[in-house]
A and B are shown apart, each in its own frame.
Chain A
Amino acid sequence: MSESTVLNDAAKVKMTARDVKVFYGTNQAIHGIDMDIMENEVIAFIGPSGCGKSTFLRCLNRMNDTIDICRVTGQIALDGQDIYHPSLDVVQLRAQVGMVFQKPNPFPKSIYDNIAYGPKLHGLASKKSDLDDVVESSLRRAGLWEEVKDRLNQPGTGLSGGQQQRLCIARTIAVSPEVILMDEPCSALDPIATSIIEELIAELKQNFTIVIVTHNMQQAARVSDRTAFFHLGNLIELGVTNDVFTNPTQKRTEDYITGRYG
């Protein structure tokens, strides 16, 4: 993690993690991770099941708070501000660091209400027309507008799996977060829906910092600027995606990428 940690000198650090350890009860899931996440980059977390990549991802917007026995030590900062500081409001953090989940989980409400919920919650749109604008622009940016513009009042759960996942992405960007966390967003989708989401990620990169957990190494290679390889709760290697896949510095990374375990 030396020279390759930083993409280029101009890139600004968005989030930093220092010596992050996570415990589930007495069981330690993550053994001290240091990481910098740059602004407007796509960073992919790869590694075998149970390596702690999802756990670490969930530390970044404190979704782990909802698990009673989970305890996080170390420091994670967003724009230099400690996100585990007692004075920080977790609601505000989650508006800044949005999340897309493994299984598409639209609310059992209309497509419109799915998108409008976040902006309403945070008071981002006061008038109905403002809200309409937010809904339209979010759906457009998620590439879903053309498909659903005539049925905004129909339930979001009636869409196909890929459309549902794009709806969830649209719902997340409607709150205008700075960072979007994606926890295996394509694992429940077919290849066509997956490629649509991957194209979407490439576009969203211009406005958002994206952290994506994936089991699919080709996906990591396709969408990400940098790749982090996790193993048994440790960050083994972090570097420019191309380097990690073609010329890994660590033996374990190479073994995983070439399919020797995982």
Chain B
Amino acid sequence: MTTEVKNLKGNAATRSKVQQQVVNSLQKRHRQEKLFRGAGVAAVSISILLVVLLFVNIFSKGLPAFWQHAIKLDIYFDPAVVKIAEKPVQQAGESDNEFRQRDLEWRSAVGMINFNRLIVDGLQKVIPDANEHRRDLQRIVTSGERFAIRDLVIKDPSIIGSTQSLFLLTDANIDVWLKGNIDRSLGDAQQQLSPKVREWVESLKAQGVIQNRFSFALFMNPDSRSSLASAGLAGAFMGSLYMMLVVIVLAIPMGVAAAIYLEEFAPKNKLTDLVEVNINNLAAVPSIVFGLLGASIFIGWFNLPMSAPVVGGLVLTLMTLPTVIIATRSTLKAIPPSIRQAALGLGASKSQAVFHHVLPLAIPGILTGSIIGVAQALGESAPLLLIGMKSFVASIPSSAMEQSTALPVQIYLWQGNELRNFFEARTSAAIIVLLALMLSLNSLAIWLRKRYEVRW
């Protein structure tokens, strides 16, 4: 080997000169290659580091919010306080409307009762010097819990007269304080809690009366501003769910059908070229523009309700359509033409060739593209701000026409809440829920692709 090289170099002066040039350029090339690889490795490392940082940050902040402090109280449903008539039952011959009217009257009567009394009574049992500090006593249990107690009575009035052991969420400030998110060296004025309350909760925590428990409130409750500790994601989650249903029902069939027509059947002429260019451009339109369009068309012309998931779903459908169409078309393009020819050669019509052979092969790609599109729509917030879905909604929507917000918008709303050290964790928890949803959607896409993949 070495002798050969020597001979090669030694043979002619010109050749050795050429070889020398090659060797020189080779060194340069190797250097460039190393540099390029180094840059690539550095880029990947930096991105991994940033992703890890993001996740560590979100999880370290958000995970504690899945647990919340609650106080265990023996609530005596005192018949002297809870004075209500019998729960109405629909009688024979009574129309639905009449019954509903009676039921409503009964419920509002129940709503007038001072359930806070029951909580205060329960607190007095665990706090010996409660009577001297009535004002402070009101600050321990978050205000939303009196409605939880009311709902227990409405559900089953027979508990009146009994004593129930219940876990009630503590006030948001107590939760923050017990989690150590308030600097305890600060002066009294900056502690959010009065010295008496601090003393109480410390001792109750030590006794095990106040416990840090998994917070179902985060998942079961709608947003709340009067009772911050009970603010939950359920409203936003349902809003997002309805929107995704609208997107899946509209965007995927429409997008796939449009792509099949454009790719397989449409004649190639100026008009279809124009359509194609427009679809590609639509995919690049900033999403907030779709929000403007939704506000003026769906709300302005069609008079659909503001803040409703149906409008949000329609807007997100428009935004998702180009993604679905482009993904489907590129999948169809990738199906080898030999399959179409084989089918046509056997006497299949064009649509038979497409639906019997091309489409089944394209299903994995179409599903992947569609689910990625839906996941994009799920994480979108800008267009929703313009159609009123950033309003504060304190109820869980029971249909797509009711006012609601969406998960990404809820994150935005919580991020701006004044009680920072409570909602910082809540925000991160909401982000974790959203990420988990996205992750499950993407896993579904991967699973479907594997499931329907045909080996060649």
CB-contacts of A99-135 with B (<8 A): 99-101, 103, 105-108, 117-118, 121-122
1/0 per residue, CB under 8 A from B, across A79-98: the answer is 00000000000011111001
Bound-state Cα–Cα, A256 to B116, Å: 105
1/0 per residue, CB under 8 A from A, across B6-26: the answer is 000000000000000000000
Contact A118 B346, beta carbon cutoff 8 Å: yes
How far is the CB of A82 from the nearest CB of chain B, in Å?
18
Q: Is A171 an interface residue (CB 8 A)?
A: yes
How far is the CB of B364 from the nearest CB of chain A, in Å?
12
Contact B347 A172, beta carbon cutoff 8 Å: no
Contact A117 B346, beta carbon cutoff 8 Å: yes
Q: Is B339 an interface residue (CB 8 A)?
A: yes
1/0 per residue, CB under 8 A from A, across B62-106: the answer is 000000000000000000000000000000000000000000000
Bound-state Cα–Cα, A117 to B360, Å: 15
Contact B344 A66, beta carbon cutoff 8 Å: yes
Q: Is B128 an interface residue (CB 8 A)?
A: no
- The residue in B336, B340, B341, B347 that gathers the most chain A C-beta atoms within 10 A of its C-beta is B347
**B268 contacts which chain A residues (CB < 8 A)?**
68
**A106 contacts which chain B residues (CB < 8 A)?**
342
**B341 contacts which chain A residues (CB < 8 A)?**
63, 66, 99, 101, 105
CB < 8 Å neighbour of A107 from B344, B352, B357, B455: B357
How far is the CB of A122 from the nearest CB of chain B, in Å?
6
- Asked if A92 meets B346 with Cβ closer than 8 Å, knowing A108-B454, A157-B455, the reply is no
**B349 contacts which chain A residues (CB < 8 A)?**
91
CB < 8 Å neighbour of A155 from B345, B348, B357, B455: B455
Contact A105 B346, beta carbon cutoff 8 Å: no
1/0 per residue, CB under 8 A from A, across B306-346: the answer is 00000000000000000000000000000010111111111
Bound-state Cα–Cα, A105 to B456, Å: 10
How far is the CB of A136 from the nearest CB of chain B, in Å?
18
Bound-state Cα–Cα, A61 to B345, Å: 8
- Asked if A94 meets B344 with Cβ closer than 8 Å, knowing A68-B268, A108-B455, A157-B455, the reply is yes
- Asked if A105 meets B338 with Cβ closer than 8 Å, knowing A68-B268, A117-B356, the reply is yes
Q: Which residue of B lies closest to A121 (CB)?
A: B348
Contact B356 A118, beta carbon cutoff 8 Å: no
Interface size on B, residues (CB 8 A): 22
**B361 contacts which chain A residues (CB < 8 A)?**
108
Contact A95 B347, beta carbon cutoff 8 Å: yes
Bound-state Cα–Cα, A121 to B268, Å: 28
Size class of the A contact interface (CB-based, 8 Å) = 20 to 34
CB < 8 Å neighbour of B339 from A95, A100, A105: A105
CB-contacts of B420-456 with A (<8 A): 454-456
CB < 8 Å neighbour of A172 from B345, B455, B456: B345
Q: Which residue of A lies closest to B454 (CB)?
A: A108
**A30 contacts which chain B residues (CB < 8 A)?**
none
**A168 contacts which chain B residues (CB < 8 A)?**
342
1/0 per residue, CB under 8 A from A, across B341-385: the answer is 111111111001000110001000000000000000000000000
Contact A101 B339, beta carbon cutoff 8 Å: no
Bound-state Cα–Cα, A63 to B338, Å: 12
Contact A105 B344, beta carbon cutoff 8 Å: no
Bound-state Cα–Cα, A93 to B454, Å: 31
**B456 contacts which chain A residues (CB < 8 A)?**
108, 157
Q: Is A223 an interface residue (CB 8 A)?
A: no
Q: Is A46 an interface residue (CB 8 A)?
A: no
Contact A99 B348, beta carbon cutoff 8 Å: no
**A91 contacts which chain B residues (CB < 8 A)?**
347-349
Q: Which residue of A lies closest to B342 (CB)?
A: A105
CB-contacts of B251-309 with A (<8 A): 267-268
Contact B347 A122, beta carbon cutoff 8 Å: yes
Contact A99 B345, beta carbon cutoff 8 Å: yes
**B347 contacts which chain A residues (CB < 8 A)?**
91-95, 118, 121-122, 175
CB < 8 Å neighbour of A171 from B267, B346, B455: B346
Contact A121 B346, beta carbon cutoff 8 Å: yes
Taking Cβ atoms with an 8 Å cutoff, the residues of A that contact B are 61, 63, 66, 68, 91-95, 98-101, 103, 105-108, 117-118, 121-122, 155, 157, 168, 171-172, 175
Beyond A66-B340, A91-B347, A106-B342, 19 additional contacts (C-beta under 8 Å) are A68-B267, A91-B348, A91-B349, A92-B347, A94-B345, A95-B347, A99-B345, A105-B338, A105-B342, A107-B357, A117-B343, A117-B346, A121-B346, A121-B348, A122-B347, A155-B455, A157-B456, A171-B342, A171-B346
27 of the cross-chain contacts (CB-CB < 8 Å) are A63-B341, A63-B345, A66-B341, A68-B267, A68-B268, A91-B347, A92-B347, A93-B347, A94-B347, A95-B346, A98-B346, A99-B341, A99-B345, A101-B345, A105-B336, A105-B338, A105-B339, A105-B341, A107-B343, A108-B361, A108-B456, A117-B346, A121-B348, A157-B456, A172-B345, A172-B346, A175-B346
The 7 closest A-B pairs by CB, nearest first: A105-B338, A99-B345, A94-B347, A95-B347, A118-B346, A105-B342, A108-B454
Taking Cβ atoms with an 8 Å cutoff, the residues of B that contact A are 267-268, 336, 338-349, 352, 356-357, 361, 454-456
